[in-house]
Amino acid sequence: MPFVNDILRHRSLSIVGLEKNTGKTVCLNYILHRMNELGIHVGVTSIGVDGEQVDSVFATAKPEITLYEGTHFITSEQHYLRRQLVSSLEAVDSRRTALGPLVTARVLLRGKVLLSGAATTGVLRQQIEQLDSMGVRLSIVDGALSRLSLASPTVTDAMILATGAAVSANLKQLVAKTKFLFDLINIEEVDPALREPLNNIESGIWAVDDDGVAHDLGIASAFLIGQAEGDLLRFGHRFFASGAVSDRLLRTLAQKGKDITLIARDFTKLFITPEALSDFRRRGGRLQVLQRSRLLAVTLNPTSPQGFLLDSRRACDTLAEALQMPVYDVKKI
């Protein structure tokens, strides 16, 4: 059972897709099936809507989510009423969503369900804590398109990355795009002594001097870096961005000289292109994060929604060589 033993070392897991239709639901069903075989008490929710029979964009068939006896799940009221399983209602959240309040239930008789969960990472963290208090050993959060935030180490303990032909039907481009995100996920962490003081900073861009003391530069966000007054290097060559990191920030700092170090909160805050990062590093720049996400596995869906099919074995082997870790087509495990 590849990567399942790694999952069991953690309390929470996010499944993130590089694009839509990269096989997140197939991966989720694989994990749920394996956990059921092992008798592991699982809880599951989603940051978007998952489990539809038909893709809303491409009108193609999609795999439904199957939940097993004893599984806890969180979904919206509207989707809970459409469940195709027997369950007991455990809790109803007073906060409302566009699809009604969020409902927590436990499966009594296996079946299929639509998942639509929290819209914010803050609510997700609370839901994981709630599931934990109910005796759930592993909480799984299924992702939505372009919502990497749930893979932040402040939300879930570990993550799985799903990629595939939907990213690109050209294997070389698929590898390049997957490798770039993989490299961002694995950016080096800062010295642990810096982590706690910087983690407490809630906004703005700060300089960090040689003694590890942070100084507010009066820059509210990366997008206002061009309006900064005074010498950015007056406290040294290290900087911390508490929010999003953009290409503009990388380019501005790169122009200030060599040996610049930029610290981000985690990889989900990096909204940068390969070109900007390459130029930043070529000029001597160094990128770090306060906390690195734990990537447990990479999975591949060789079929695109347009019907193009990659050679699964060749694609997995090529990606594995580029990433230096195994890549799985879970349909062939």
224 contacts: CB under 8 Å, gap ≥ 6: none
CB 53 within 8 A of CB 82: no
Residue length of the chain: 333
- Domains of the chain in start order, with CATH, are 4-186+293-332 (3.40.50), 192-289 (3.40.140)
Give the C-alpha distances (Å, rounded to integers) separating 205 from 222, 236, 247, 258, 303.
Answer: 7, 14, 15, 19, 42
Q: Give the torsion sign (CA, 306, 311, 315, 318).
A: negative
Would you state the structure tokens that stand for residue 235, as one six-digit string? 């406290």
pLDDT value of position 54 = 46
pLDDT at 62 over 80: no
How far is residue 214's CA from residue 283's CA, in Å, rounded to a whole number?
A: 24
pLDDT at 333 over 80: no
DSSP structure string for 308-321: -B--HHHHHHHHHH
Q: For 114-120, what is the mean pLDDT?
A: 82
Give the C-alpha distances (Å, rounded to integers) separating 273 from 180, 246, 276, 282, 283.
Answer: 9, 9, 5, 14, 16
pLDDT value of position 165 = 95
65-91 pLDDT, tens digit per residue, is: 999 999 999 999 999 999 999 999 999
230 contacts: CB under 8 Å, gap ≥ 6: 217
